[in-house]
Amino acid sequence: MVEMSCMGPVRSRSLLCITAAVLLSACAGRFDPANFQGKREARRAEPEAVLDLAARTAELEVLGTVHASCRPKAGFRRLQGELLSDLDCSQARLRIALRESAASAGGEALLGAQCASVRAASGSADELSCTAEVARFRSGTQVNPRPLSAPRSVPQGRPAPSPSDVRRIDEPDASLAFRICLHFEPAISQFERPARTGADVHELSLMPVSHIRLGDLSASCKDGCDERALRYGVLIAAGRLGAPDVVGVRCFRSARGNSCVGTLAAPELDE
């Protein structure tokens, strides 16, 4: 990871360190979505190779259950310690998180996975939740009794990796979004552009003269997140806020954890 030990002018150095400390303190106590409950076994499959089955069969043994949830909230706005998983809340992210948790527990299949949106009685944001049983093969053609064999994975497309293969390789673990906290202070009062994916956000080194500055966005993680995950988190968050570009992303490490900061920008005229 690029390490920036708060070098530079005294004022800039102090502001950078203070900002990082505040953000990481605000994120303390947050948890990732490894909400697996049950018996853990040796890993047999990569997350992408975990099967999605409707019901259990005689070939399967159930290890336990897994659950992940998030609270979606859309729109360009100020962010204060908001989890990336909430800003980018979707069934797709939650189902990938289930697969990652199941694979980590030694599972090879999700049984009866289902997602539902529940309206909060308090009037706060609705919660999107996904649950499933986690199982592994104990007999049949899918069973792999060798304890030291490599985890089963999905072969890449031939003769070259498919777009989904590339996306899977490039993106950090979906579960890291439940550990990454965001801070964004808008530089303008209003900004309305359609939300986009992180892959559709451009990372620029300099601010184009045609662009307006939208504000600085920080992605922080107390532990377990490398620069790659935080950089991609900045792009995902920018896309969800409608920003097409991120300028001058810089990452640093402190005693409290890791952070990446970038300036959101957009063409002054919406093309």
Q: What percent of the chain has pLDDT over 70?
A: 74
Mean pLDDT within 173-189 = 93
Segments of 78-207 assigned E as strands: 79-83, 109-118, 127-137, 181-186, 202-204
pLDDT of residue 150: 60
pLDDT of residue 42 exceeding 70, the answer is yes
Nearest to 216 by CA among 268, 269, 265: 265
Mean pLDDT within 17-36 = 49
pLDDT of residue 194: 94
Reported as a single tens digit per residue, the pLDDT across 98-132 is 999 999 999 999 999 999 998 766 656 689 999 99
Domain 37-76+85-145 coded CATH 1.25.40.10: no
From residue 165, give the alpha-carbon distance in Å to each of 148, 156, 161, 169, 170: 26, 6, 5, 6, 9
Mean pLDDT over the full length of the chain: 82
Parse the chain into domains and list their residue ranges: 10-30+179-267, 37-76+85-145
pLDDT of residue 87 exceeding 70, the answer is yes
Mean pLDDT within 187-195 = 94
pLDDT of residue 23 exceeding 60, the answer is no
Tell me how crowded residue 152 is: count the other CB atoms within 10 A of its CB. Answer: 17
**Would you call 217 helix, strand, or coil by DSSP?**
strand
d(CA 253, CA 221): 10
Q: 115: which 2 tokens? A: 């997602």
Reported as a single tens digit per residue, the pLDDT across 127-172 is 999 999 999 998 766 666 555 456 767 665 555 555 555 555 557 7
pLDDT of residue 199 exceeding 80, the answer is yes
